[in-house]
Amino acid sequence: MRTRASVCLILLLVSALLLASELLFNGQQVYPDDPNNVTASNVSEFGQNRAVAAGRLSRDPSGLLRIRASAACPT
Amino acid sequence: MAMAEKTRFAGFFARLQPYRLWVQTAFLMVWLDPLGIRYHGICAPVFHCYACPLATFGCPIGVLANFSALHLIPFITIGLLIVVGALVGSLFCGWACPFGLLQDLGARFPTKKFELPRWTGHFRFVVLGALVLAIPYFFGEEHPLFICRVCPAGGIEAALPNVVSQAIAGQQIVWPSVLKLTIIAVFLVSILFIRRPWCRVLCPLGVIFSSMNRASAFFLRFDREKCTSCGRCTKLCQYNIEPEKSPNDLRCIRCLECTGCKLGALTPDTILHGRRKPAAETVLPAGEPTPGA
């Protein structure tokens, strides 16, 4: 029982660290689809999740994260 | 007092057990956007495609795969999965997952059910490691084996409803690929003959949660002293697990059917309840009056 409680506590601490990490990193710089537009927005993980759910987040060949104008859902 | 609480806790699940299908249905109402509000920024700890026209929350497996393809780390999603796994293990699989509900409904058809070899459960690690993490990371989301392209949940919850909504709206219908339609057909046939085939053989979310079954705060307690080795729990378990040998097994979805043991040898419990001897088993010294006598 004590082992189970210890491992459970460690897992909860790890998850707390992960959740805190997101606050620490504070999102990603995401660019619009237009390659000439160099104005990036700082998008939190929640925002990235929404963009992923809409099939709109992609990474261009130069490695920049971009919000696609049209959705591309693999389903 | 602690013993009374423990009994209450086990009794709560015992009373709820006959209504498990209704509990799953109630959770379905949560996942299917009852208020018309989308929270796709947050993942639900269940297998429900966020491309579903009615999905309330995001799909954690879809997020893991897409973030892997984008070479990003989804800290909040991983954190959420570990929190849920550490607290209740795979309890959500058995009681809340809409894809599990669909399979449970399929299993109700009066068809002959086939058993799967136990080793097939290890395919779930392959799906998680290869289709969710490695293939997206190295080949991107365009790869034909990217999880969302072969996911039957995506096909049933998103692709087919989208075809229907396009037909109703009079738009041009975009049919799913032949591969996707084949996967949907195979899945729908298989749930009639095998209990929870996806959960037991392929589900990458289930393997994340069930990996924490042995460490989770909520767990199944096996009391060896009460067990008479009658084999009832093994018969009650529909997933080919022997609960008396491994009550918190890696393949367990925590449907808690095995807790129907009449002797109370298997009970749901939490780490908050210390292991204490039941009051009835306390041996009193000879000649001492029994309480209440």
Task: Please tell me the predicted confidence (pLDDT) of residue B274.
Answer: 63
Is B196 inside a domain boundary? yes
Let me know: does B256 contact B103? Beta carbons within 8 Å. no
| CB-closest option in A21, A44, A57 to B70 | A57
Is B11 inside a domain boundary? yes
Contact assignment for B146 to A74 by CB distance below 8 Å:
yes
The shortest C-alpha distance from A64 to chain B (Å) reads: 10
Domain span holding position A55: 2-67
Contact assignment for A74 to B148 by CB distance below 8 Å:
yes
Q: Kindly report the number of other CB atoms within 10 A of residue A36's CB atom.
A: 5
Task: Please tell me the predicted confidence (pLDDT) of residue B275.
Answer: 58
CA-to-CA separations, B92 to B23, B44, B67, B96, B196, in angstroms, rounded: 11, 10, 23, 5, 14
Is B26 inside a domain boundary? yes
Is A15 inside a domain boundary? yes
The shortest C-alpha distance from A34 to chain B (Å) reads: 18
Is B267 inside a domain boundary? no
Is A74 inside a domain boundary? no
Total domain count for chain B? 1
Judge whether residue B113 has pLDDT over 60: yes
Domain span holding position B99: 2-143+191-210
What is the C-alpha separation between B284 and B126, in angstroms, rounded?
55
Structure-derived torsion over alpha carbons of residues B265, B270, B273, B276, reported in degrees to the nearest 10: 20
Q: Does B89 touch chain A (CB under 8 A)?
A: no
Is A23 inside a domain boundary? yes
DSSP, collapsed to helix, strand or coil, labels residue B285 as coil
Is B92 inside a domain boundary? yes
Contact assignment for A45 to B77 by CB distance below 8 Å:
yes
Is B218 inside a domain boundary? no
Total domain count for chain A? 1
Enumerate residues 97 to 156 of chain B having a beta carbon within 8 A of any beta carbon in chain A.
141, 146, 148-149, 151, 154-155
Is A27 inside a domain boundary? yes
Judge whether residue B91 has pLDDT over 60: yes
Is A55 inside a domain boundary? yes
The letter for the amino acid at A26 is N
Is A72 inside a domain boundary? no
pTM for the whole thing?
0.88
| Mean of pLDDT values over B244-270 | 91
pLDDT for B180-235, tens place per residue? 999 999 999 999 999 999 999 999 999 999 999 999 999 999 999 999 999 899 99
More confident residue, A26 or B59: B59
Find, in chain B, the residue whose alpha carbon is nearest to that of A17: B79
